[in-house]
Structure formats: structure tokens, C-alpha cells
Amino acid sequence: MISDDELFVTLDHMHSVPAFNGRAGFCHKGGRALAARYGLDWGQIVNDGGIVASKLVATGDAMAMHLVEFARQEVCDGQ
């Protein structure tokens, strides 16, 4: 299994994760808010195309954890 330090959660993952409201994907507004809440640099995340999963896991945020698990499944499935 890929570690949180090795897993890179991309913006594509963010845009396609099954959201809590039944729609596909989290919006940038929510991503920016999450980044601001936990002191993550949204501009850097966008420039890099994503963020290392361990930084999201460290927040303990339910949305972040959901996104990490989705990204892990996508990577394990080869997508």
C-alpha cells in the first residue's frame, strides 16, 4: 500500500471525488477554504497540481480524509 508521504493528491482527484452532496467533485472555493483553515498554501497546491496526502491527513478534516482515500483508491486502481 502506498504511504501518505508517497501519495500525491491531485486537482483531478479533487474535481472527481464523490462529494457529500451526491455530486462529483469538490470545488475550488471549498479547497481554498480548507487550505486557509489549516494553513496550507492554496497557490502552491494549484501550482504543483496537488498536495502530498500526509499534509491533508494531518488536518484530520473529514473532507480531506475523504479526498485522500479516494485518491488512494484511484492510484491503486491505476487511474
Q: What is the residue-wise DSSP string for 37-51?
A: HTT--HHHHHHHTEE
Q: Say if 54 falls within a structural domain.
A: yes
Q: Would you list the DSSP string of 3-72?
A: -TTT-EEEHHHHHHSBPTTSSB---HHHHHHHHHHTT--HHHHHHHTEEEHHHHHTT--HHHHHHHHHHH
Q: Say if 48 falls within a structural domain.
A: yes
The domain tally of the chain equals 1
Q: Say if 33 falls within a structural domain.
A: yes
Predicted confidence at residue 23, as pLDDT, reads 86
- pLDDT in single tens digits along all 79 residues of the chain: 899 999 999 999 999 999 888 888 999 999 999 999 999 999 999 999 999 999 999 999 999 999 999 999 999 988 6
Q: Say if 2 falls within a structural domain.
A: no
Domain coverage including residue 14: 8-76
Q: Say if 1 falls within a structural domain.
A: no
